[in-house]
């Protein structure tokens, strides 16, 4: 906000960010569409008519399953070839926007540092194009060892410059205060008086090329794993794995060297004790002061070793997390395609069983199923990032859990199961409800 972005640039950024969501949205869309479609068939008794005509539910589902498979394949190529390109555009655009200085937006009575290298304040701004100013204060930003300059003027005016990379400001009736400190010692600077120059008219140019030439879509970031295809990610994974193995080996060697130093110290004392049995010390025979010193030294060594282990673990966590992120990102290019097929099986089966179409119950069921899928997805992802589960397995766990459910729902739909029949569950719990509900029938009819 406030960085001078055009409407087109904002729309582009939202579009670039939105493309990456397609891989997650398409499975949800297929789930919702299949529930609504087969629910509509069931509600209008079209499925019953098809079955009466000898057309099985399997035959009805097959053409749509073929379409879903084609969409799943298309999603794979889309995620593999198109999304990485838009990820690169989005991340570079966000980075460039973050690095861009805010657009010039002068507010009367406030200090503004949007002009590079200067701090300005205008008491009043007026005119058709806000070109006239009064109560001008311009201070050049500099360290205490550089030349200082401050300009104060009663009024001024913005004038179009020949070079658009510069802001031209014409000031009237003011003073220029200068302190020439550059290259001078502290004593000289303390003795040197300020210099003041009075002017009737002063023209100043300010370089605003950093604001004008934003280059919002210039690609400066190129090495992110999210910019790579499935095959390119294989190379990144191998490289990351080798770097991690090398790092873990160095960490192990450091820890082992410290542990061995303690063991060697103990062995040395033990060998000396064997060579000179008379000098063998037992903790119980040592004086209390010496005993406390020995125990304190042992505790210090163990505490240092423990601190070292904790520090090494903290160093290893980012490497493990990055490796898990790369692997899961690669595998999701494939897993989300299979999720489309699984969601179709679940949606078509649920739609034919609940026999409700439209935007009511089907939408609620689809959202609930998708939330369950998303929670499993995020939860197992965090576990994989911590290194407690293989990231390859973690990427497939949501599909592994939902696939048996999809097969079971398809079986229930093919066998005309009354899975959502309320009367069935009432009859099941009727013996239990009788214990808590009074018989309302009149005694004369009992």
pLDDT at 269: 47
pLDDT of residue 397: 92
**pLDDT at position 271, please?**
47
Rounded to the nearest angstrom, the gap between the alpha carbon of residue 282 and the centroid of all alpha carbons in its chain is 59
Annotate 160-209 with DSSP letters as a single string. Answer: --SSTTEEEEEEEEEEEEEE--TT--HHHHHHSPPEEEEEEEEEEEEE-H
Q: Which pLDDT score is estimated for 104?
A: 61
Q: Token pair for residue 171?
A: 């000031």
pLDDT at res. 421: 57
- Nearest-5° Cα angle at 385, 379 to 386: 95
pLDDT 10s per residue in the chain (446 long)?
555 677 888 888 889 888 888 988 999 999 988 888 888 887 888 888 888 888 888 888 889 999 999 999 999 999 999 998 888 888 887 877 766 655 566 778 888 877 777 888 888 888 877 788 899 999 888 776 677 888 999 999 888 777 777 888 899 999 988 877 666 666 666 666 678 889 899 888 887 776 655 666 666 677 788 888 888 888 888 888 888 888 777 777 777 776 666 555 445 444 444 444 444 455 555 556 666 666 677 777 777 777 777 777 777 778 888 888 889 989 999 999 999 999 999 988 888 887 776 677 778 888 888 899 999 999 998 888 888 888 899 999 999 999 998 888 888 887 776 665 556 656 666 677 767 766 655 555 54
DSSP secondary structure code for residue 358 in this structure: T
pLDDT in tens, 310-350: 777 777 778 888 888 889 989 999 999 999 999 999 988 88
Pick the closest to residue 28 from 429, 350, 367, 409 (CA basis).
Answer: 367
Rounded to an integer, what distance in angstroms lies between the CA atom of residue 404 and that of residue 166? 67
Which pLDDT does position 103 carry in this prediction? 55
3-state secondary structure of 157: strand
pLDDT at position 193, please?
Answer: 66
Assign residue 157 a region: left if phi > 0, alpha if psi is -120 to 50, beta otherwise? beta
Q: What is the pLDDT of residues 361-415, one digit of tens each?
A: 778 888 888 899 999 999 998 888 888 888 899 999 999 999 998 888 888 887 7
**Does residue 35 contact residue 343 with C-beta atoms inside 8 Å?**
no
Residue 113: Cβ within 10 Å count: 13
What's the confidence (pLDDT) of residue 96? 73
Confidence at residue 66, expressed as pLDDT on a 0 to 100 scale: 92
Q: How far is CA 316 from CA 168, 308, 319, 385, 438, in A?
A: 55, 12, 5, 12, 66
The model's pTM is 0.63
d(CA 434, CA 306): 64
- Sequence-ordered alpha helix ranges (H) in 213-354: 230-275, 288-354
DSSP code of residue 445:
G
Residue 433: alpha-carbon gap to chain centroid: 51
Amino acid 281: pLDDT = 52
Tell me how far apart the alpha carbons of residues 35 and 352 are, in angstroms, rounded to a whole number: 8
141-169 confidence digits (pLDDT tens): 877 667 788 899 999 988 877 777 788 88
Nearest to residue 159, comparing CAs of 142, 171, 146, 147?
A: 171
Other Cβ atoms less than 10 A from the Cβ of 410: the count is 20
């Amino acid at each position: 906000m406030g960085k001078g972005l055009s409407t087109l640039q904002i729309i582009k950024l939202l579009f670039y960010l939105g493309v990456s969501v397609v891989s997650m949205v398409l499975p949800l869309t297929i789930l919702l569409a299949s529930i609504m479609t087969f629910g509509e068939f069931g509600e209008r008794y079209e499925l019953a008519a098809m079955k009466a005509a000898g057309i099985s539910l399997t035959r009805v589902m097959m053409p749509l399953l073929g379409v879903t498979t084609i969409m799943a394949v298309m999603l794979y190529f889309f995620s593999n070839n198109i999304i990485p390109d838009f990820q690169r555009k989005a991340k570079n655009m966000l980075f460039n926007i973050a690095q861009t200085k805010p657009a010039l937006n002068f507010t009367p009575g406030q200090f503004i540092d949007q002009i590079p290298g200067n701090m300005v304040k205008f008491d009043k701004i007026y005119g058709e194009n806000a070109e006239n100013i009064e109560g001008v204060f311009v201070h050049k930003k500099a360290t205490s060892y550089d030349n200082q300059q401050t300009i104060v003027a009663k009024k001024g005016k913005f004038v179009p410059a020949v070079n658009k990379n510069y802001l031209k400001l014409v000031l009237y009736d003011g003073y220029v205060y200068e302190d020439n400190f550059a290259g001078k010692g502290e004593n000289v600077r303390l003795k040197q008086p300020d210099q003041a120059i009075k002017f009737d008219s002063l023209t100043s140019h300010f370089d605003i090329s950093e604001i004008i030439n934003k280059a919002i879509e210039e690609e400066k970031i190129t090495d992110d794993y999210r910019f790579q295809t499935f095959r390119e990610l294989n190379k990144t994974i191998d490289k990351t794995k080798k770097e991690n193995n090398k790092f873990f080996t160095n960490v192990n060697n450091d820890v082992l060297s410290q542990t061995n130093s303690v063991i060697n110290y103990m062995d040395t004392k033990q060998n000396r004790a064997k060579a000179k049995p008379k000098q063998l010390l037992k903790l119980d025979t040592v004086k209390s002061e010496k005993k406390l010193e020995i125990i304190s030294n042992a505790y210090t060594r163990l505490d240092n070793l423990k601190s070292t282990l904790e520090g090494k673990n903290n160093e290893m966590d980012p490497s493990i997390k990055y490796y898990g992120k790369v692997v899961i990102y690669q595998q999701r290019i494939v897993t989300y395609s299979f999720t489309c097929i699984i969601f179709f099986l679940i949606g078509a089966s649920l739609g034919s069983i609940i026999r409700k179409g439209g935007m009511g119950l089907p939408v609620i069921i689809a959202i609930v199923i998708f939330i369950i899928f998303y929670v499993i997805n995020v939860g197992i992802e965090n576990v994989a990032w911590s290194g407690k589960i293989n990231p390859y397995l973690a990427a497939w766990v949501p599909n592994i859990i939902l696939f048996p459910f999809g097969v079971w729902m398809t079986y229930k739909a093919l066998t005309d199961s009354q899975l959502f029949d309320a009367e069935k569950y009432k009859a099941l719990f009727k013996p239990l409800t009788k214990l808590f509900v009074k018989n309302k029938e009149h005694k004369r009819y009992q």
